A and B are shown apart, each in its own frame.
Chain A
């Protein structure tokens, strides 16, 4: 990578500095109907996000499908223009920069896409695909583009001989590596990775996860990772933001999020993940949500989770709970949070205990949860 000398010349600031700051970020997609294509409503895909990303860290966005993760990623990389709110990257407001003024910034902010099959042009060689960013950005490489590309291929665990091959000759994991090599070409500062491993088999997934970790260490990369696999997220993240219907309902460092989740939705999400061992077979504490996520066209008022929350009270339907810092670095938007500091022993979604109520016929608007949920001691490790 040393030959692809495209650094701007400024020294890299120390860790701990804010790289990205997002305030009140919204994206509403208009719904148009009829002959005149009049706007009849909007999909509130992202509806008011506040968060920051520190240089060198990995922040993960998690949540059920349709909650707005990809839209957020596309906003951060400015593939989409926000409806409202601001995105500040390295102190500069990029929320509404034109394409032309965004171009020089594109090398700093890159996106890795979910689908390693669809995101590579099948008619281009690997050399052309990985080399494209140099061309687009008119970046001169001391020993020529080919050499730079071959170095990138080696960096991601492919071989320089792959230069003239086509994407269809590669497996899913190798294609994802090609995508990563292309992303790294311009030495970005921030990489938004949208489900980078979810299309891959578990053994290959682990190879790519390790690669992303190594590259982060080597190049001081900052990741915003979009993922739905909460086990992978626990492994790769420094901090985790949980989204529900276009909003962040909880954001915390990894350890406190997994060991003392506060938002009922986070608890439900964690407790739904099956654990690959035989200790708790059919007998873990379970919080069962029924039904699917409501439509982002008509999200429920106030707390959007109230239609599925087993703790919901009247106030949840009328007053929107603000995202508040309830423990150091741990923010939650809920009127009746769990696991508050100083409260009882932490209750973790994945804790082991004995209870198996499995309702089948519940109406979809009502949350189901086991009646007697004992307070658990935290898991040993």
Chain B
């Protein structure tokens, strides 16, 4: 595995388990990746695959006592998992910030948008209210809120969905965070507004050289933004690579399934869609071996290994990593004969 030991963000063997009445939910179960400043990592996967839990763990936002977290999250060398909640809280805003799917969950309904940006800014900057207010108006302007000097005094519910999302982005970016995590930032939005928001994230990243993690189930969105892509299934990374690796030479049967399930806007698809059969797995009783094996068309090719041995995420060259028992020849054959011609 190409381990990048001086990367700005390093996640090592992260595990997040939730004890529940029905058993232990293994939401994230051994996740390792790293990210440099100025780069964007896309995390994709079905709902429940652990994307949001991963980001909340990095941000230190799990409710105290609910989650059992182990592993390391190094932000510029400091381990966040072993730091106190207070230490992590102080990093939020300036060192790292998060954009949520639902802006209302991140904004307080009783305070104006401006007040919230001003407070967030003043936590990290010793400035007067007036200076902070000017900064808030600038930020709202930057994210394309019309008449920001008036809108700064509006309440979140007075904004449309797209404007709220932009206001939350303004809040998240008000202290130029070094790491920005965007969890489904556009899922609730129309495509036209989505396009505006994606442009915005890209522009602001270019300007501040931030590290960005974009979490989504939309492969089109990651294709727009991400340098690297991590595909998750049942709490683990099953494939990791550059955007070119994932779109042009994907190696994991689950990644093939995602691509085959998706209708394309830019071409007529003559074949039927190729759905992944079955349903997503339970995270309490994760299938043994490869968690994907009950849904995988190739599970029988490996003399039972798929059902008994957990495949490790292994580098197959240039940082492209795959967790699958198929041999390179088997993968090449399956991709070229079964999958690629039908996409």
Contact = CB atoms under 8 A, between A and B. Distances in A.
Most buried by B among A273, A286, A288: A273
A278 to B, nearest CB: 5
Interface in B61-88: none
- Secondary structure of the B side of the interface? helix
Contacts of A32: none
A64 B190 contact: yes
Interface of A: 64-65, 171, 173-174, 201-207, 209-210, 213, 228, 230-232, 234-236, 255, 258, 268-270, 272-278, 281-282, 286, 288-293, 350, 358, 360-365, 379, 381
Contacts of B277: 207
B254 to A, nearest CB: 9
Given A206-B262, A231-B262, A361-B144, A275 B223 contact: yes
Interface string B135-157: 00000011110100000000000
Interface in B194-226: 194-196, 198-200, 202-203, 217-224
Interface residues of B, number: 56
Contact of B264 (A209, A210, A275, A291): A275
20 contacts: A171-B280, A201-B280, A202-B46, A202-B219, A202-B261, A203-B275, A206-B262, A231-B262, A231-B264, A232-B263, A269-B192, A274-B218, A274-B224, A275-B264, A275-B266, A282-B224, A286-B195, A292-B161, A358-B199, A360-B144
Contact of A230 (B265, B273, B275): B265
Contacts of B338: none
B191 A277 contact: no
B334 interface: no
Interface of B: 46-47, 141-144, 146, 160-163, 190-196, 198-200, 202-203, 217-224, 243-244, 247-248, 257-269, 272-277, 279-280
Given A206-B273, A272-B194, A235 B263 contact: yes
Contacts of B160: 292
A277 B265 contact: no
Contacts of A274: 194-195, 198, 218, 220-221, 223-224
A360 B261 contact: no
A277 B191 CA distance: 17
Contact of B223 (A65, A270, A281): A281
Given A278-B244, A358-B202, A381 B192 contact: no
Contacts of B268: 234, 255, 381
Contact of B263 (A209, A228, A281, A350): A209
B75 to A, nearest CB: 27
Most buried by A among B194, B219, B273: B273
Contacts of A293: 190
Contact of B146 (A201, A204, A209, A291): A291
A174 to B, nearest CB: 7
Contact of A258 (B195, B223, B265, B280): B265
A276 B257 CA distance: 14
Nearest to A366: B146
A210 B268 CA distance: 16
Contact of A379 (B190, B200, B267): B267
A203 B46 contact: yes
Contacts of A276: 219-220, 222-223, 247, 259, 262, 264
B247 A277 contact: yes
Contacts of A228: 190-191
Contact of A278 (B144, B243, B264): B243
Contacts of B46: 201-203
A53 B121 CA distance: 56
Contacts of B142: 360-361
Contacts of B257: 203
A272 B247 contact: no
A17 B242 CA distance: 51
